[in-house]
A and B are shown apart, each in its own frame.
Chain A
Amino acid sequence: MKKPYKMSPLGDSSVLIQFGDRMDELSHRLVMEAVRWLDAGRFPGYIECVPAFASVAVHYSPIQVLRSLDGEERMRETVYETVCYRVEKLLVHIDAVTESDSEMKNVRTVAIPVCYGGEYGPDLEEVAAICGRSAAEVVRLHSDADYLVYMIGFAPGFPYLGGMPEEIAAPRRGTPRAVIPAGSVGIAGGQTGVYPLATPGGWQLIGRTPIKLFRPDADAPSFLQAGDRVRFFPITEEEFLSWKDNESVDGLR
């Protein structure tokens, strides 16, 4: 069976494993499956792997790999080739993931409370105007959809979400804001996301969550993980202000 991926060097200390060049659920499933095998099989010199939409990077220490060569591996000309060989051995079962596997195992669904509009979502009315809908409809469409966390990147805990309805797509703001408060829920083009930290940014802000997405004291500092399913649900300003972070959301999972 043909390998469902190709490998290429990402510099001299990482290898990029690509499953495709599009954002789709099949590539995503292959990526998540690869991460599982790589993390379970961490070979000597393996540092960590980083999943993205349709690819995974394996970061390694060439020196550690070199010090751990065994038997037939010595025949390979470069450390890179040895790493590719070790990766291929770990991913030998990855073909098993096909489109017929409609459901992924161990999927977690996380519900995220959002206070839409007002001072928490100053661009909600503008997004509604751009889309030719009422603010209430934008909120309903945004909170009725099922989202998939394809990857975490850009900032600690920042989820790249797929699944936003096209009806509420809206271009970035002409002038970015100097500071976007942590927890802001925004729309940029066909994407929606939540800002884990206060940063500058050009997204249209439609609401804010009281949930902390970056938790540096937790074992998993990112509240969301690649592969999670996400739902947003509206809360009032009072609920926002009195939200008790952890217990209530865990209860909704």
Chain B
Amino acid sequence: MGIIVVKPGVLATIQDLGRYGYQNQGVVVGGSMDQTAARIANWLVGNDESEALLELTLAGTELRMEREAWIAIAGGDMEPITGQGEKVPQWRPVRVDAGTTIRFGRSVNGCRAYVALAGGIDGEMRLGSRSTYLRGGIGGYDGRALRAGDRIEARNEPAKFAVSRLAESQSGSLRFPLWHAGGFAVAHSDVAVIRWMPGAHYDWLSEEGQSAFGDGTFRIGRQSDRMGYRLEGEGRLGQHVRKGELLSEPVTIGTIQLPPDGNPIILMADRQTTGGYPRIGHVATVDLPVLAQLKPGDRLQLQRVTSMEAEKLLIEAEREMTMLGKAIELKLNG
């Protein structure tokens, strides 16, 4: 069951839910940036949520199906179309005929799209994960980003689908059901609201610095990638932060560091395991998928919550995800 990468686009990698258990050795966690979309995409084709899938970034990917297969596309909306110009429906299982080409355009909402393949994508398993660790050169597809000509295979026999029931609708080389999970797509907004809680060094900021940070609107900087997002705001936070030396301490996804230049960095999937900059805050885990869908130039507004609230929000979101997972399972297996 092969998918040929005709064009990789800006950046396409194989990811799963991350590489855990080796952070004490300096090995980054990695994994899909938007784990909500990644998990749902896998569920939609009957996979376990931990299967590897493709993470496409911003624009320009083109894939060709060597054989007929069930796929699901979720996450950022790159308005995928087939070579014949039919829209490929997203957030639902889609059966694609052999020989079909799928072209992803420039993202109109979000930054990263996930493509799951029934049976899971077979990537190199290293240190317990198939995620591509670009800097370490391991996992996924030879530890590197996908290139034109790469062939991606399914790992398992795909789950048996009730094709007649799922393929309610047809458009050219595509068959798909009318239901979808698009309600879980990150809503488009001019300014994304990202909830955060203060970190250990929040009080290193003067009062002025705290209000410039907490009430500020920021832009995602150009030098933002899977390792971290740079926030650019009007307030120069560097002037309002106490100077001091810190011992390197562990950090985690969503940690907001403040380097001397005064532009905060939010650590993302490919973050280092430890860091020596002041930790002024942490993004609530529940909002990481929203953040992962922001691209350079997008704006965000920070909204302060307590860590107790962040925890409650996460538990609530996970409850909804569990219900969605069950609903999809029922639809697939009826």
Contact = CB atoms under 8 A, between A and B. Distances in A.
Are A and B associated in one complex?
A: yes
Interface of A: 8-14, 16, 21-23, 35, 47-57, 59, 62-63, 66, 77-80, 151-158, 160, 196-197, 199, 214, 216-217, 220-222, 225-226
A154 B271 CA distance: 9
A151 B248 contact: yes
Given A62-B314, A157-B25, A221-B22, A12 B285 contact: yes
Contact of A156 (B26, B251, B252, B283): B26
Interface stretch (B66-74, B296-304, B305-313): B305-313
Given A12-B282, A16-B200, A78-B311, A156 B250 contact: no
Contact of A48 (B21, B137, B255, B315): B21
A226 B27 contact: no
B308 A157 contact: no
Nearest to A215: B25
Contact of A226 (B24, B255, B315): B24
A77 B315 CA distance: 13
11 contacts: A10-B250, A11-B254, A12-B282, A21-B247, A47-B21, A50-B250, A62-B285, A62-B311, A62-B314, A157-B25, A216-B126
B206 interface: no
A6 to B, nearest CB: 11
B132 interface: no
B252 A80 contact: no
A12 B314 contact: yes
B138 interface: yes
B282 A10 contact: yes
Contacts of A196: 26
A79 B250 contact: no
A55 B279 CA distance: 14
A47 B20 contact: yes
Given A10-B255, A153-B26, A221-B25, A23 B318 contact: no
A57 B248 CA distance: 12
Contacts of B28: 156
A196 B25 CA distance: 11
Interface string B242-283: 000001111111110000000000000000111000010011
Contact of A153 (B20, B127, B272, B315): B272
Contacts of A226: 24
B23 A48 contact: yes
A164 B251 CA distance: 26
A154 B23 CA distance: 10
B282 to A, nearest CB: 4
Which one of B27, B137, B253, B311 has the greatest number of beta carbons of chain A within 10 Å?
B311
B311 A12 contact: yes
Contact of B26 (A8, A12, A152, A199): A152
B116 interface: no
Contacts of A152: 24-26, 273
B197 interface: yes
B247 A157 contact: no
B135 A80 contact: no
A214 B200 contact: no
Contacts of B253: 11
Nearest to B23: A50
Nearest to B126: A216
Given A22-B247, A50-B250, A151-B274, A156 B282 contact: no
B25 A59 contact: no
Interface in B303-333: 307-308, 310-311, 314-315, 318
Given A11-B283, A156-B26, 11 more contacts: A11-B282, A11-B284, A48-B20, A63-B318, A80-B307, A152-B273, A156-B27, A156-B28, A157-B26, A197-B135, A220-B25
Contact of B247 (A48, A53, A222): A53
A158 B26 contact: yes
B144 to A, nearest CB: 14
Contacts of B250: 10, 14, 16, 50-52, 55-57
Contact of B24 (A51, A62, A199): A51
A12 B284 contact: yes
B136 interface: yes
Contacts of A225: 25
List 8 A-B pairs, minimum CB-CB distance, nearest first.
A153-B274, A57-B250, A222-B25, A11-B282, A12-B310, A50-B250, A156-B26, A152-B26
Which one of A11, A214, A220 has the greatest number of beta carbons of chain B within 10 Å?
A11
A214 B126 CA distance: 13
Contacts of B308: 77-78, 80
Given A11-B197, A21-B247, A66 B315 contact: yes
A59 B23 contact: yes
Contacts of B285: 11-13, 62
B148 to A, nearest CB: 25
Contacts of B137: 197, 216
A1 B285 CA distance: 36
A246 B323 CA distance: 51
Contacts of A221: 22, 25, 27, 127
Nearest to B250: A57
A51 to B, nearest CB: 6
